Each structure stands twice: as structure tokens, then as C-alpha cells.
């Protein structure tokens, strides 16, 4: 039982509140934090809404800065501190239902006895790191990967921004002979991903054998020399935010093999044009999209010469 919860409270414009839940949920998962419980309500006589975010524990200051930046709240006045609480973490875990995405059944430990027949189960507990399968973008990526497995036969795969490692595990299930490199800017996420690889019996590279194994590294973007050593990649999955997707467009193109496939997610529907405009400056061509709520996944290809 946890006796206190970290609360952040302040007033916010309605157009920001509209995107608050999706954005904070995405970033909380991405940083390996239990997604906060959010309360937002209108205030009589004011154009601003009252917003409260309840975290299981005090979030890292860097995470709060990313919320502020993502929602353009640089001058947002707010209060923060501990308050008495119930066991929000346990309640949150119980409220997280298992998810079906393509052939995959993503569940927490509390639902391990509910796996339906004919599915490929992956156990990822909510709040560890981004990619529990419960966010629309991760669901979309899993669904797209499952569909691509009918025709795609990649030998080398990159999961850029792996978070919990869920997408790398799914790729390993779909293409067990492929080598997979999972990277993330956050060291905690990589630790969690490696634990999940073991939990889900994914083969990590313990020898010089590349085929059928997963490597996990901490890396910011694609500048690390290991990407050049391990690539070029037949398939890249990047489930990160729109800003990094735009910034990394040239590097992603460079590390994608000619004829290769790219899945982009972590962007909202209103950000689609900005992301596609960045990739129009590369050789990559959009071939499909999958929308889930206000989020989507884009599939692009690098044309064969």
C-alpha cells in the first residue's frame, strides 16, 4: 500500500485539455512512469479548466519538462506536492485490461490466466516503460507488424525508441530468424526491455550469433556507430513523438536498406502533414496508414533502385 501520491494542479485552456490525456499518457509510458490519473473539469465563470494529475510517485523533473514542452505550457502556473492517497497503482493495474492487436494478446501478470486460444501472448506490466500495448500508437504498430508479416521477410530490424521492448518482442515472434536491435534514449527503459525479453523468452545475443537474437542499447537518435555496424535495416519501427520523427527523418532514411520498410508512430492525426512533409525530402514514400482514435501509424518504403 502506498500512502501518498504526487499531485500536480493548475488551470489550463480547454484546447490544451483536449490533448492532455493522450499526450501525458504517451510521455508517461515513454519515460517508464505509471501513467497518472488525470482529473479535469470546467470552472464556473472562467475560460480555464482545473486540472489535477496524480502520480504514483514524484516524477523526474526532466519528464515534467517534456510535458511542458509537448503541450506548450512553458509559463504554466501550477502547484505540486504529496497528498494522502489510496493504492492507486494497484487500482490502475486492475483497470488495465489485456489488449488484442492482430495475433497478439498483450497482458499484465494479473491477466496471465485469461489468455485466449489462438493468440500469441506477450506479458508487459503497465507503467514499466512505454509500449504496454494499451496506448493507441503501440496497438497500431503491433497491428501493422502483424499484417506485414504476411509478405515481409526482414533479416535485420531496428526498434527505435523501444521503451518496454514490446515491439521488439513482437518482431522476434513474427520473424524469429531476424536480428533485432532495440534502442532507447532512456537507460531505465532499456533495463526494463531486457527484463521483458527474458520474461517473454526472447533470445538475446549471448554470443557472436546475430541471427534470431535481440540486442538492446542506450542511444540518443541514430548517431551511435553501432547503427552503421548493425545496419542497414530491412525494417525500422519508430514509435516516438512527432518532433523526433521529423528531426530524424534523414538519419532514418540513411539507415534503412533500399527496398526497406519504415513504420512511424507516436504522432497524432493533426501532425500527419508535418511528419510527411519531412519525409518528402527523403526518398521514402508513404504506402499506408492506420488510424486509432486521434493517433496513427504510417508505413513508408524506400524504393528499390
CA distances from 233 to 105, 130, 154, 168, 264 (A): 27, 23, 8, 14, 15
Q: Does domain 131-301 have CATH number 3.40.50.300?
A: no
Strands, sheet with 104-107, edge to edge from the N-terminal-most edge strand: 99-101, 104-107, 120-123
pLDDT of residue 210: 65
DSSP H/E element including 305: none
User: pLDDT tens digits, residue range 229-247?
Assistant: 999 999 999 998 888 999 9
| Domain residue ranges of the chain, discontinuous segments joined by + | 4-92, 131-301
Residue 240 in grid coordinates? 516516438
Beta strands 214-218 and 179-184, pairing class:
parallel
pLDDT of residue 119: 93
Tell me the torsion sign for CA atoms 132, 133, 138, 142. Answer: positive
Angle CA 19–25–29, to nearest 5: 150
CATH no., domain 4-92: 3.30.70.260
Q: Measure the CA–CA gap between 24 and 17, rounded to whole angstroms.
A: 11
User: pLDDT tens digits, residue range 253-304?
Assistant: 999 999 999 999 988 899 999 999 999 999 999 999 999 888 899 999 999 8
CA distances from 291 to 140, 272, 279, 286 (A): 7, 11, 19, 14
Mapping DSSP to helix (H, G, I), strand (E, B) and coil, where does residue 196 land? helix
Q: Across the chain, what does the average pLDDT equal?
A: 85
Q: Do 4-92 and 131-301 come out as alike in CATH topology?
A: no
Q: pTM to 2 decimals?
A: 0.72
Residue 185: name the closest of 135, 220, 235 by CA: 220
User: pLDDT tens digits, residue range 193-237?
Assistant: 999 999 998 877 654 456 678 999 999 899 999 999 999 999 999
Q: Measure the CA–CA gap between 121 and 95, rounded to whole angstroms.
A: 19
Contact 302, 283 (CB under 8 A): yes
Q: Measure the CA–CA gap between 54 and 15, rounded to whole angstroms.
A: 21
pLDDT of residue 1: 44
Residue 167: name the closest of 106, 233, 109, 223 by CA: 106
Amino acid at each position: 500500500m502506498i500512502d501518498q501520491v504526487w499531485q500536480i494542479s493548475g488551470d489550463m485552456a480547454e484546447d490544451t485539455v483536449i490533448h492532455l490525456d493522450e499526450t501525458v499518457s504517451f510521455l508517461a509510458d515513454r519515460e517508464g512512469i505509471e501513467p497518472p490519473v488525470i482529473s479535469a473539469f470546467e470552472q464556473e465563470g472562467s475560460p480555464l479548466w482545473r486540472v489535477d494529475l496524480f502520480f504514483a510517485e514524484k516524477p523526474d523533473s526532466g519528464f515534467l519538462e517534456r510535458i511542458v514542452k509537448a503541450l506548450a505550457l512553458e509559463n504554466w502556473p501550477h502547484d505540486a506536492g504529496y497528498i494522502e492517497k489510496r493504492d492507486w497503482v494497484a487500482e490502475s493495474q486492475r483497470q488495465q485490461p489485456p489488449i488484442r492487436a492482430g495475433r497478439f494478446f498483450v497482458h499484465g501478470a494479473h491477466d496471465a490466466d485469461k489468455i485466449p486460444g489462438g493468440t500469441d501472448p506477450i506479458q508487459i506490466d503497465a507503467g514499466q516503460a512505454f509500449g504496454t500495448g494499451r496506448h493507441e500508437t503501440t496497438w497500431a504498430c503491433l497491428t501493422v507488424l502483424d499484417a506485414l508479416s504476411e509478405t515481409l521477410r526482414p533479416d535485420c530490424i531496428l526498434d527505435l525508441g523501444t521503451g518496454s521492448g514490446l515491439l521488439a518482442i513482437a518482431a522476434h515472434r513474427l520473424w524469429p530468424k531476424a536480428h533485432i536491435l532495440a534502442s532507447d534514449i532512456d537507460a531505465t527503459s532499456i533495463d526494463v526491455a531486457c527484463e521483458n525479453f527474458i520474461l517473454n523468452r526472447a533470445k538475446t545475443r549471448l554470443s557472436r550469433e546475430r541471427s534470431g537474437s535481440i540486442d538492446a542499447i542506450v542511444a540518443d537518435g541514430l548517431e551511435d556507430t553501432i547503427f552503421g555496424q548493425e545496419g542497414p535495416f530491412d525494417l525500422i519501427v519508430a514509435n516516438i513523438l512527432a518532433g523526433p520523427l521529423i528531426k530524424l527523418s534523414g538519419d532514418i532514411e540513411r539507415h534503412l536498406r533500399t527496398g526497406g520498410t519504415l513504420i512511424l508512430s507516436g504522432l497524432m492525426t493533426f501532425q500527419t502533414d508535418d511528419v510527411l512533409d519531412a519525409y518528402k525530402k527523403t526518398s521514402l514514400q508513404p504506402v499506408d496508414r492506420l488510424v486509432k482514435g486521434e493517433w496513427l501509424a504510417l508505413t513508408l518504403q524506400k524504393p528499390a533502385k
